[in-house]
Chains A and B, each alone.
Chain A
Amino acid sequence: MAEITLDNVTKRFPDGALAVDKISLDIADGEFVILVGPSGCGKSTTLNMIAGLEDITEGELRIGGKVVNNAAPKDRDIAMVFQSYALYPHMTVRENMGFALKLAKTPQATIDEKVNEAARVLDLTQHLDRRPANLSGGQRQRVAMGRAIVRDPAVFLMDEPLSNLDAKLRVQTRTEVSKLQKRLGTTMVYVTHDQTEAMTLGDRLAVMRSGILQQVGSPHELYANPVNLFVAGFIGSPAMNFMAGTLEEGGVSTSIGRLPLSPQLRQALESGNSGRQVIVGIRPEDFEDASLVQAADQAKGVKFRVTIDVVESMGSDVFIYFTQESGLTAKTDQLADLAADSGTAELGSAETVTARLDPTTRIKEGDSAELWADVSSMHIFDPNNGENLTLGASQAAAS
């Protein structure tokens, strides 16, 4: 049981590359914190620094109030689950799980007891005498978890522990991890690039990009009040749609029409911003088939007509895609990062907008359909630095 404090922790590799830039984060005792971001954002490096597998270039790291910058991993009372599981191939499951205790010179009887208990919890009892090579992916993953559990450590560190499992098993194991953490009540730092995993698991999320901590908060906070374009686009699935817009008196004009600004938004944007170029962000779930919107709600948003390119029916939802001529000339590096992460880097100037509609919609591919967009929860970003200009407003609206 321990709290972790990162105080301006910086990692600079010998070749000069700055992997982590002045990250400050307080993780409370028993908290489940997720470090999330696209590959290369420095999340794994941060985790390795907490584990003691990477040196800290600058700043201070405290575990349980003690500065551990120069402590060896074995002196930090941590357990780690690796992406590749890193099971010892020459040892049986039992030996793998008991290795740490053996190194700590724990009596054999205690080792057996703890290993058997962990094996029971993880449903590995009948595999205890097998080698990792003879186990399935899911079983290996559980052995890796078991190896961490038997230690009874102050802190669990997990480096993308689910990314090698197939999709179905991943969802199942995700629940197991969450239950396990709740039961053990141990501080856990979990690294993932999968925002769904992050949203479903963590008490708090820390979103990172190019070595810089972007925002820390509960899943809902990040979803509702992203501080910048990057967080807005990274959190939420499907991702938030971005459109170019120009601020006008009381509204913003975009490719889907003029969107009125709510009083809160207007206040946040202040006056005198007329004619300013902005990026408007609307989540797919804020769109709806106009014919399905209650009359009372119609006023909250705007209606517009577009040609539907693709309709994907999931049963519970219908996703539709339509393309708008993009005015996104001021591409920020944050948008570029997002595009690279989602693999849509080469889409060109036309932008695809995704909308999630009620499954009762009758919209078909190729239709010219009337859609409705809820503008009360839209975000407006500065195209130059990506900052969310409406942050204060949506916070006010949320509270």
Chain B
Amino acid sequence: MAAATTPVRKVEWGVANVVVIALALIPVLWMVSLSFKTPAAVLDPSFIPSAWTWSNYHEILSTTQFVRPLLNSIGIGLIATFIAVVLASMAAYAVARLNFPGKAVLIGMALLIAMFPAISLVTPLFTILRAIGLYNTWPGLIIPYVAFGLPLGIYTLSAFFREIPWELEKAAKVDGATPFQAFVRVIAPLAAPGMVTTSILVFLACWNEFLFAISFTSTIASRTAPASLAYFSGSSQFTVPTGPIAAAAVVITIPIILFVLFFQRRIVAGLTSGAVKG
């Protein structure tokens, strides 16, 4: 971009970037700062804690009230993501490749579910889960998460499948592959970056989900980390546990940051280069 090289332009962009980054980062840094403050200093308006303490972290990581929900979050998130991505990749492949009656309806329904206000489903789902005995269990959260992860997965993955040259599949068929073999040995490996991207998106959605988590659980047997934050209590019922909540929020945020940093390259690296003439 030639326009960005003039000094005035550089300054303009620099200022804009700083503003945007500051807006995004200050609340996060504030949270980190709070998590290191002593209970007495929580109301201290200074950005950098006057006295640093690990006590908030010690507190939350030594109580099953937080550790167990953290494990629930990881388990439920991973299982729901796995099921959703496997199912979504098959569905997305069909959407991208095949013409079948009712395809438009299927895509429409998927979009509809993605747009559906979750709150309107809480009551009916609550009743259903109670009736079939899944209330306050892992499957009770995994099933709705898969249902909401699928539309997201189908949309992202079908975009990736469309990018894969169709001739590769034809070549595989001519080479003697059954449609299933062609999918598993040729198409799926090429869609791997897309599957990773989709997995991250679905996992983040499950990890951050709060409404279902708080509605369909009653004990730490299945409560997830975000929901558990709401149940934190201070040393007495009159103190707000600001420090531990901030520390727990930091702990919940760390896996997300690691996740994105770790997979960033794989998302960007397109495996399909060199498949066709170039």
Contact = CB atoms under 8 A, between A and B. Distances in A.
Given A73-B174, A103-B176, A104-B176, A84 B189 contact: no
18 contacts: A48-B170, A52-B173, A74-B175, A74-B177, A82-B170, A84-B275, A86-B165, A86-B275, A86-B276, A87-B274, A87-B275, A89-B271, A89-B273, A90-B189, A100-B176, A132-B274, A140-B277, A147-B175
- Which 10 pairs of residues, A with B, have the shortest CB-CB distance? A133-B274, A100-B175, A84-B276, A86-B171, A86-B167, A74-B176, A89-B275, A164-B277, A73-B173, A103-B176
Nearest to B274: A133
A150 to B, nearest CB: 10
Contacts of A84: 165, 167, 275-277
B48 interface: no
A99 interface: yes
A14 interface: yes
B181 A103 contact: yes
A86 B168 contact: yes
Contact of B272 (A89, A99, A103, A164): A89
A74 B277 contact: no
Interface string A17-57: 00000000000000000000000000000001001110000
A79 interface: yes
Nearest to A14: B99
Contacts of A147: 171, 175
A134 interface: yes
Nearest to B270: A89
A258 interface: no
Residue among A51, A78, A87, A131 with max Cβ neighbours from chain B (10 Å) = A87
Interface of B: 99, 165, 167-168, 170-178, 181, 185-186, 189-190, 271-278
A162 to B, nearest CB: 12
A104 B174 CA distance: 12
A89 B276 CA distance: 8
Nearest to B169: A86
B255 to A, nearest CB: 29
Given A14-B99, A133-B278, 15 more contacts: A73-B176, A82-B167, A82-B170, A84-B167, A86-B165, A88-B275, A89-B271, A89-B272, A90-B189, A90-B190, A99-B185, A103-B175, A103-B176, A133-B273, A147-B175
Nearest to A48: B170
Contacts of B174: 51-53, 73-74, 78-80, 157
A242 interface: no
Contact of A74 (B167, B173, B271, B278): B173
B273 to A, nearest CB: 5
B168 to A, nearest CB: 5
A15 to B, nearest CB: 10
A253 B181 CA distance: 66
A78 B173 CA distance: 10
A290 B177 CA distance: 63
Contacts of B189: 90
A137 interface: yes
A104 B172 CA distance: 12
Nearest to A104: B176
B191 to A, nearest CB: 10
A283 to B, nearest CB: 35
Contacts of B170: 48, 51, 53, 73, 80, 82, 86
Contacts, number: 89
B147 to A, nearest CB: 32
A190 interface: no
A85 interface: yes
Interface string A64-102: 000000001110001110111111111000000001100
Contacts of A73: 170, 173-174, 176
Residue among A51, A78, A100, A157 with max Cβ neighbours from chain B (10 Å) = A100
Nearest to A131: B274
Interface string A131-157: 111110100100000010001000001
A85 B175 contact: no
Contacts of B276: 84-86
A132 B167 CA distance: 15
A145 to B, nearest CB: 13
A329 B221 CA distance: 87
A84 B190 CA distance: 17
Contacts of B274: 87, 89, 131-135, 140
B174 to A, nearest CB: 5
A90 B175 contact: no
Interface in A202-233: none
A169 B52 CA distance: 71
Contacts of A104: 176
Given A89-B273, A134-B274, A103 B167 contact: no
A147 B175 CA distance: 9
B167 A89 contact: no
Nearest to A135: B274
A53 B209 CA distance: 45
B167 A90 contact: no
Nearest to B277: A164
A89 B190 contact: yes
